[in-house]
């Protein structure tokens, strides 16, 4: 990879406005990733699984770090695999802290090593895609149980969120949350995570369960989507302006955030490629967008009981609709759509095993299926070569 040319500095006004976005674009683009941010945060806080102050303080620190290090609207997202396991009741609060700290230590170690890109390719893409799809199914099951109490409310909410596929720049998730907070008590029963099988009390913290249920499924997704693909997306969208957004730096900032903040109750975080694209699609071009988000998250962290009180107004069925939206985001990845035909059985095996038996089983089943696929492909190639040599 060649070094990008240095851009000339041209004053604080131009740097703040950014190329093509302007201040209004940055304000709009700051909210471009709410579709994946809100579902995890609302449920984790609203159900009492995590405390609001450290969660929002973590995201405030993350976006402030992004503004300082990258000077671009690089996303700071909840780690989706860990988030799905949290919402399904698979991790207690203590185990979330363990998982975040372990992931942070691993990412920092890889960032300091030249082996980062090689480590990202250790687990085949077909298996990573299957793990992601399986976690999407887990999240979809949680969403279905939450929506089951009031489908008459959930279906219109799903219809509103589905407009994102027609108008990607529409703030539909934010609009749904605003309506739910304003009119929640008159719309339906408040959030009840017992419907999803999760308990605010969780269970005794086990570092082993944190590693198996949190670290193992999340690490390959982070290395692929939040490091390798995220750096590529940033370079594509911002060109030479993304010269600071390298794979090793993304791993380092993600690692530092999780290692330092997860033990204090922050939600595990990463820099998702889809979030970078979402911020850009809505108009964000400069450090103004992450600075705005850092400010808003800091205010939420300092709001005391206000945020939990507002979240408590949201009916379970509407939270389920938001989770279904997030589940589809996990399921309908571009890597799934673009997968080669011979890779799709591997994806299906890993996904179904993850859904039915957990992430560790999904990883093992996916690797076994991938080994079979490679052997069959090599056998078919050898047979073809033998036939050609015999002619």
**pLDDT tens per residue across span 120-170:** 888 888 898 898 888 889 889 888 988 987 899 999 999 988 887 777 667
Looking at the predicted structure, is the pLDDT value of residue 76 above 90?
Answer: yes
CA distance 151 to 329: 21
Closest CA to 258 of 102, 362, 55, 121: 102
Average pLDDT over residues 362-385: 81
Q: Is the pTM higher than 0.75?
A: yes
Confidence of residue 11 (pLDDT cuts 50, 70, 90): very low
CA distance 259 to 266: 10
Q: Quick: pLDDT tens for 199-248.
A: 555 556 789 999 999 999 899 989 988 998 899 889 988 999 999 999 99
pLDDT at 75: 94
- How many residues can be counted in the chain? 391
Instruction: For the chain, give the mean pLDDT.
Output: 83
CA distance 4 to 123: 30
Residues 6+ apart with CB under 8 A from 264: 54, 97
CA distance 283 to 98: 36
Query: How does 230-252 read in b/e, with b if 16+ C-beta sit within 10 Å?
Result: bbebbbebbeebbbebbbbbbbb
Closest CA to 33 of 236, 305, 312, 296: 296
Looking at the predicted structure, is the pLDDT value of residue 346 above 90?
Answer: yes
Residue 131: count other Cβ atoms within 10 Å of its Cβ.
27
pLDDT at 118: 85
Which percentage of the chain shows pLDDT scores above 70?
86
pLDDT at 14: 40
- Give the single-character DSSP code of 122: S
CA distance 98 to 211: 8
CA distance 185 to 171: 23
């Amino acid at each position: 990879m060649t070094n990008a040319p240095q851009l000339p500095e041209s004053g604080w006004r131009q740097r703040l406005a950014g190329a093509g976005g302007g201040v209004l674009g940055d304000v709009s683009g700051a909210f471009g990733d709410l579709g994946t941010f809100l579902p995890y945060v609302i449920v984790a806080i609203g159900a009492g699984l995590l405390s609001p102050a450290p969660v929002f303080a973590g995201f405030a620190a993350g976006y402030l770090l992004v503004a300082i290090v990258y000077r671009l609207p690089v996303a700071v997202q909840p780690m989706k695999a860990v988030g799905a396991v949290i919402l399904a009741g698979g991790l207690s609060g203590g185990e979330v802290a363990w998982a975040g700290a372990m992931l942070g230590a691993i990412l920092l170690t890889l960032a300091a090593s030249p082996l980062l890109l090689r480590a990202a390719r250790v687990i085949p893409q077909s298996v990573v895609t299957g793990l992601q799809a399986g976690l999407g199914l887990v999240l979809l099951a949680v969403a279905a149980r939450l929506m089951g109490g009031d489908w008459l409310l959930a279906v219109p909410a799903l219809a509103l969120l589905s407009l994102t596929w027609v108008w990607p720049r529409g703030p539909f998730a934010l609009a749904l949350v605003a309506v739910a907070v304003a009119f929640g008590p008159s719309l339906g029963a408040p959030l009840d995570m017992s419907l999803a099988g999760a308990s605010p009390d969780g269970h005794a913290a086990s570092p082993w369960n944190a590693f198996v249920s949190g670290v193992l499924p999340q690490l390959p997704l982070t290395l692929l989507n939040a490091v390798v693909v995220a750096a590529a997306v940033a370079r594509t969208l911002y060109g030479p302006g993304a010269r600071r957004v390298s794979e090793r730096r993304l791993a380092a900032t993600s690692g530092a955030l999780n290692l330092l903040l997860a033990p204090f109750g922050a939600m595990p975080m990463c820099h998702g490629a889809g979030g970078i694209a979402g911020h850009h699609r809505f108009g964000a071009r400069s450090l103004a967008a992450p600075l705005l988000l850092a400010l808003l998250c800091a205010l939420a962290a300092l709001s005391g009981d206000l945020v939990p009180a507002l979240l408590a107004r949201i009916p379970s069925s509407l939270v389920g609709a938001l989770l279904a939206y997030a589940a589809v985001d996990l399921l309908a990845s571009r890597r799934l759509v673009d997968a080669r035909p011979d890779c799709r059985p591997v994806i299906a095996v890993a996904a179904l095993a993850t859904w039915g038996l957990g992430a560790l089983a999904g990883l093992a089943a996916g690797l076994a299926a991938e080994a079979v696929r490679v052997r069959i492909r090599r056998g078919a190639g050898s047979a073809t070569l033998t036939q050609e040599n015999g002619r």
